[in-house]
Copies of this chain bind each other. A is one copy, B any other.
Amino acid sequence: MSKSAQLIDYLMSHREVTNELAAKIDPDHYTFKPTPTSMEAQKLVNHILESTYTFARLANKQEPEKLFDEDDTADLTERAQEYTEATVKLLSKLTDEEFEQTLDVSHIFGKEMTAGQLLNMAIDHEINHKGNLFVYVREMGHTDLPMYVKA
């Protein structure tokens, strides 16, 4: 199994959960935040989707970009679907050799990393914020929540 296929499996075992949580958020709750200093629910989901996509762009030596304009009215389910497809497409292009290549991301992270290290960090970042999101969604009244990872 290629490194790319392994990484896509690993990402999707978490991304399916991210998307399932996002789908539970009613538009009335998009601006929900558990405390005044917290990120709003909608922003938290977008931050997860955009960050992992950005890491996949960087691993492909592409500049970051957003898939939706500021004023786009797409809901979280549409955004989740589009970002997930675009992220998987980028990851699927990476060869085993490219996973070992060092990327100059020191202007962003303060150090160089291989594409493989960067992408593992991307998934940790998603798991962390998905962990935040579980608490948000429970506070919105949902008690039937998925496991943190899909088998």
Determine if A79 is an interface residue (Cβ-Cβ < 8 Å). Answer: no
Chain B positions within 8 Å of A14 at CB level: 124
Whether, in the assembled complex, A129 has its beta carbon less than 8 Å from a beta carbon of chain B, the answer is yes
Instruction: State which of B37, B110, B131 has its C-beta within 8 Å of the C-beta of A127.
Output: B131
**For the complex, is A78 an interface residue (Cβ under 8 Å from B)?**
no
For the complex, would chain A's binding face be called helix, strand, loop or mixed by DSSP majority? helix
Closest to A17 in B: B128
Question: Is A55 close to B, CB under 8 A?
Answer: no
Docked complex: A110-151 residues within 8 A CB-CB of B: 110-111, 121, 124-125, 127-136, 138-139, 143, 148-149, 151
CA distance A130 to B110 in the complex (A): 24
Determine if B131 and A34 form an interchain contact, defined as CB atoms under 8 angstroms apart: no
